[in-house]
A and B are shown apart, each in its own frame.
Chain A
Amino acid sequence: MEFPSNCKYTKDHEWVRVEGDTCVVGITEFAQSELGELVFVDLPSAGKSVSPGSTLCVVESTKAASDVYAPVVGTVAEANAALKDSPSLVNTEPYTGGWMVKLSGVAKGDLDKMLTVDQYKELLKGRI
C-alpha cells in the first residue's frame, strides 16, 4: 500500500497535504480498502467551520457508513464535487482524484502535531 511522504496522517486514517494556502484532506489507501467500494460521499458545504473530532464527511459503501473526522481546526474552502458522481475515486485514487475537502485557515502548529508517514505506518503494523 502507498502512503505518500508529503502527507501528514491521523490515527483515524485521514491524510492532510499542504497545497499553497489550503490543506487538502482525504482518507488513506488503508481506509478505503477497509471500507470497500464507496457508493456515496456526503460532503460539507463551503464555509463550514470544523475542528478535530467533528465530522467532516460521511462515506458509504454498500456495507458500511463511516465518518471522516476533521484532522485539524479550519474552514471548508472547497469540497471535491467530482465525488458526487464518482465516489469510487476515493478507492482508485485516494491521494489524488479522490481528495475530499480543502480546508483554509489551518495553523501550522496543528499540522506538526499530526502523525508522520513513518508513525502512521507503525500504527498499521500487523494490519496490512
Chain B
Amino acid sequence: MHGGQSETRSVISGFESRHIGPGSSEQSAMLSVLGVSSLESLTEKVVPKSIRFSGSIDLGDYSKPRSESETLELLHSIASQNKVFRNYIGCGYYNCHTPTVILRNVLENPGWYTQYTPYQPEISQGRLEALLNFQTMVCDLTALPVANASLLDEATAAAEAMTLSVQAWKKGEEYTGSPTFLVSSQCHPQTISLVRTRAEGLGITVKEVDPSSAPSQVVWDGVFGLLLQYPYSNGEIVDPRPIIDAAHSAGALVTVATDLLALALIAPPGELGADIAVGSAQRFGVPLGFGGPHAAFFATKDEFKRLMPGRIIGVSKDNAGNPALRLALQTREQHIRREKATRNICTAQALLANIASMFAVYHGPAGIKAIAERVASMTGRLGAALSKSGKSVTKSGFDTITVTLSPSDAAKIVSKAEALGINLRVSDVGVGISLDETVTDSDLNDLAGVFGASLGAAGDDLVPATLRRTSKFLTHPVFNSYHSETEFLRYCRKLELRDLSLAISMIPLGSCTMKLNATTEMIPVTWKEFGALHPFAPRNQWDGYAKVFTDLEQMLASITGFHGVSLQPNSGAQGEYAGLLAIRNYHLSRGDAHRTVCLIPKSAHGTNPASAVMAGMKVVVVDCDENGNISIADLKNKANEHKDNLAALMATYPSTHGVFEEGIIEITKHIHSCGGQVYMDGANLNALVGLVRPIDIGADVCHINLHKTFCIPHGGGGPGMGPIACAKHLTPFLPGHPMMSAAATTGPVSAAPYGSASILVISWAYIVMMGAEGLKRASQVAILNANYVAKSLEGDFPTLYRGQNGFVAHECILDLREYKKTAGIEVDDVAKRLMDYGFHAPTVSWPVIGTIMVEPTESENKRELDRFVAAMKAIANEAKKIVRGEYDRLDNPLKGAPHTAKAVCSDEWNRKYSRDIAAFPTAETRDSKFWPTTGRIDGNFGDRNLVCTCPPLDNY
C-alpha cells in the first residue's frame, strides 16, 4: 500500500489523544475501578482467547499515524489528482450552488451533522421541523399528499416503489405467475439496473417498455406496477396520462421518477394521476460528491401511507397540548416487524434532506421558479442553436437535450468537449447535455461551440403547453419568510438550538457508536475536488478518488482479515442486503439454488430478517439462552433440520446484547459443516478493530458501518455508509454497476458505483490519523468506557448480560425493570428525565424491553462519563423517593419529564415537586442548561391523525 508520502515525521500532537477521550491518567483511574492493571490486561479478560487477533493491522504506509495537518496536506495532494470538469452528464445528478449560508451553517456545522435519528423528539424539534419542511416541499412539488423524510437515492426509491406496488396489488392473492413490473426504457440506466437486481430476490419479473408506445400495445397481464421517468432520461417531456390511465385500468399502480426543479414548471405527477413519485433532491443545494450522499424523496397517495418505506415525520402534540413533531407510524418499520418486514430501510438521508429543504426555504417558490425558468430558457436557446446548425435534437425538454449522432461523431464531440473541460453524456443514440443553475452564458457559448453552432438570443420554448404547471407550490409561510440572509441565518440557528447534538453532550445510544466526528475528517468533504465530480465522469478524471477507494478497500480488508471489499452499499442495511446477495449468488453459481434458509438469532437487529427476505431467503429464527447468547443447542437443531437448504447464518458480533460470545467459533464451524455461509453484522465493529478480525470468528462476509466505527457523522438520521468485506470465494459476487467497466454477476445495490463517495474521505482520514495502534487503542478504550459505566452504576442499575470474567464489550444493557415494579417508573420516564439533566437517553427498550443500552464510545472522557453516572444515580434516587412515598407515584419529576422553560417559568405550577427540582436537578444544569423545547409527546394522537406536512401557523 502506498501512502503517497514516504517521509514519516514525528508526531508532535497526536490525533489519537484528541480522538480518544480519556488521557492516560483517566484511563488508569478507570482501570483501577475495574480492578485491572492495563488496557492489554482488560482486553485479555474481555475478549475470548480463541478469537483474539495477536498480530497488528497491516495498514502499509499508513501504519504509523499522521498528524492532522499532514493528513490534510496528503489528502489535498490526492484530491488534486481529481479533475473538476463542467458536468452536463445529467442522468439524475446535476451541478448546483450550495448557498454559502447553508454550507457553513448546516452542511459544515456539527450542530446539524452530529445528531442521531430523532428517537427522542423532545430534544430534536429543530431537525424534525427541517425534515417536515422537506416533506412539505416534496408533497407540494409532486402534488401528492404524503411524503417520507427521504431515502438513500433515486434508484433505491424506485425499487421501494416497486415493493409498495406489489404489496398493494389487489389481484396479488389470486395471481399464480411471477408478477410483472414494467419499467420505461426512458428511465435512468442505473435505476433500471438496480430495480432488476431488487426484483430477483422478490420473485418479480421486470420488463422494459417504450413509454411512447400506444397503451393498447402493452401486455398488461400480471402487471402490478409501472415505473416512468418524467421528464425522460433523454430529456423529452411527454404526456404520461395515456399510459397512466391504461395502467390503472389494468389494476397496476404507477410510479413517476421525476425531478424537483422541473416540477416548478411542468405539471406534477399527482395531477397526472401518478400513485407514487420518487426522485433525487440533490440539485436543491447538495454537492454532486461523485454520487453522494444525497437525499431521495418518496411521495404517495394517502391510501398507501402505511406501505410507505422509510422514516415519516408527523405532527402530534405534547402534554401541554402544544404541536410537537416526532417519527410517525414506526410500526411499519423492520425493527418492529422483523421477519415479517419486506424492507430493511432504517434511516433517511436527514442532513441532505435538510439542506434541500433549507434550499427551498432560502429561495422560496419565486426563487425556485426563477431558477427553473432560467434553466429551461437556456435549454431552449441551446436547442434552437443546435437545430439551426442542422443537428437532430430532442424537441421537448426542461434541462436536457439529446443530440442524435453516429457513434463516431459522438466520440468526436465528446473529445472536443473534454478538451474544453466539459463532460457530456454518451448515450445509445448520441450525446446528451443536461443544464443546471450554475450554467452561465459563457458556458452555453462553449457548449454550442462544441457542436459548431452559435448561440442566438432567442430560444425555443421546449416545455409543452399542455404540461405547464398551473398550481402553486411552497405556499406555507416557512418558504416565504426567510429570504434575507440575516433572517435565514437566524432561522437555521433557531432550529439548531432545539437539538441536542454531540456539540452539547454525549449521546450514549447503544449500537449507534456516537463517537467524535473530528473537524479534520470533515473539512475535505466540501472541497470542490471531491464535491464537484459527477458519478459518471470518465475514469481519467478521478484518479484522486480511485486512490482513496483503493486505500480504503485495503485498510478495511486488513482490519477485517477479508479479501474483497465493495464500497457501494449506502447504509448498514444495504450492506446486509449486498452481503446476502453475494451469498445467494455464490450458492446459485454452485447449482445450489435450493439453499435459501437464513438462520437469524432472536437478538438480531430488525434489519437482518428484512434484508434476508429482500435477498430471496427464508428466515428461521434461532433462540437465545438465559444469558442472552445464541442458544447453541437450538442453532444446531435448526441448522441440522435445514442442512440441505441452509444458505446462511446472520450473527452480530459482539452480540447485540453487548457481550463477546465464547461459542461463536463452535457456531460458525457448525454452519459451515452444514453447507451454510456466515454473515457477520458489523454494527458492533467498534469493539473489534485491532482486537478481533471478523474472518477469525469464522465469518465469510460482513458489513462495516463507516458511520459508526469510522467516524462518518450520523447527520441527524443519515447519511451513512455500509461497505462490505468478504472472503475470496465471495469476491466475484460483490455488487457491480452498469457504469463500471467490469461485468458483474451481482447487480448494483446503489444508484452510484461507490455509493456516497464524498464521505469516504472521512473514514480514510480517521484511519490515516489513528494508525494501526491508535485504532486498536480506540477499541480498547471503548470497551474500558462501557465497563466503567456498567461498574459505576451496578448498585442502582444492574447490567443484564455479561461475558467472560463478568465484563461487557463496548456497550452495556442496564436493567430498569425493578423500578417499574417498585416505583411504577417506565424506561421512557428515565429517558425523558435524562433530558432535564442535559443528556440524550441511551437506546431505549432495545434489544430488551424495560432496559436501556449504553454505548459511551472511546471519545467520551472520564469527566463526561462521571457526569452521566451521577445523573443516572440521581434519577435512581428520585425513583427511590417515589417508593418511599416522598414523591407522588404519578406526579413526580420522572413522570413529568422533560420540563420545558415554558412550563417551569409559567405563572401556573400545580405539580407536587418544585420548579427547581424540575429544571435544575444538578449544580451543573444551573451553570449550563439545555432546554427541551416540548413536553412529553403524545405519539398515539399523531399516529391516529397522521399529518406529515407543515401545519397552518394558527395551530401554534
Contacts and interface: CB of A to CB of B under 8 A. Distances in A.
B309 to A, nearest CB: 15
A98 interface: no
A61 B332 CA distance: 11
Contacts of B939: 62
A77 B331 CA distance: 28
Contacts of B337: 65
A64 B940 contact: no
A64 B330 CA distance: 8
Contact of B943 (A39, A42, A67): A39
Interface string A81-100: 00000011000000000000
B306 interface: yes
Interface of A: 37, 39-40, 42, 60-65, 67, 87-88
A48 to B, nearest CB: 9
B943 A65 contact: no
Contacts of A37: 940
Nearest to A55: B340
Nearest to B333: A65
Contacts of B904: none
A45 B337 CA distance: 22
A113 to B, nearest CB: 27
A65 B606 CA distance: 13
A63 B331 contact: yes
B336 interface: yes
B821 interface: no
B944 A87 contact: yes
Interface of B: 306, 330-332, 336-337, 340, 939-940, 943-944
A47 to B, nearest CB: 12
Contacts of B944: 39-40, 87-88
A39 B306 contact: no
Nearest to B337: A65
A17 to B, nearest CB: 27
A40 B337 CA distance: 15
B119 to A, nearest CB: 12
A60 B306 CA distance: 11
Contacts of B940: 37, 39, 61-62, 88
A16 to B, nearest CB: 24
Contact of A64 (B306, B332, B336, B340): B336
Given A64-B331, A64-B336, A65-B331, 6 more contacts: A37-B940, A40-B944, A42-B306, A62-B940, A63-B336, A65-B332
A90 to B, nearest CB: 13
Contacts of A62: 330-331, 939-940, 943
B172 to A, nearest CB: 13
A37 B337 CA distance: 18
Name the residue in A42, A62, A63, A64 with the highest tally of chain B Cβ atoms < 10 Å from its Cβ.
A62
A106 to B, nearest CB: 22
B601 to A, nearest CB: 20
A24 B340 CA distance: 26
A39 B336 CA distance: 15
A62 to B, nearest CB: 4
27 contacts: A37-B940, A39-B331, A39-B944, A40-B306, A40-B331, A40-B944, A42-B306, A60-B331, A60-B943, A61-B331, A62-B330, A62-B331, A62-B939, A62-B940, A62-B943, A63-B330, A63-B331, A63-B336, A64-B331, A64-B336, A65-B331, A65-B332, A65-B336, A65-B337, A67-B340, A88-B940, A88-B944
Contacts of B331: 39-40, 60-65
A38 to B, nearest CB: 9
Nearest to B328: A62
Nearest to A65: B331
A40 B336 CA distance: 15
Nearest to B944: A39
A40 B307 CA distance: 13
A67 B940 CA distance: 19
A32 to B, nearest CB: 13
B616 to A, nearest CB: 22
Contacts of A42: 306
Contacts of B332: 65
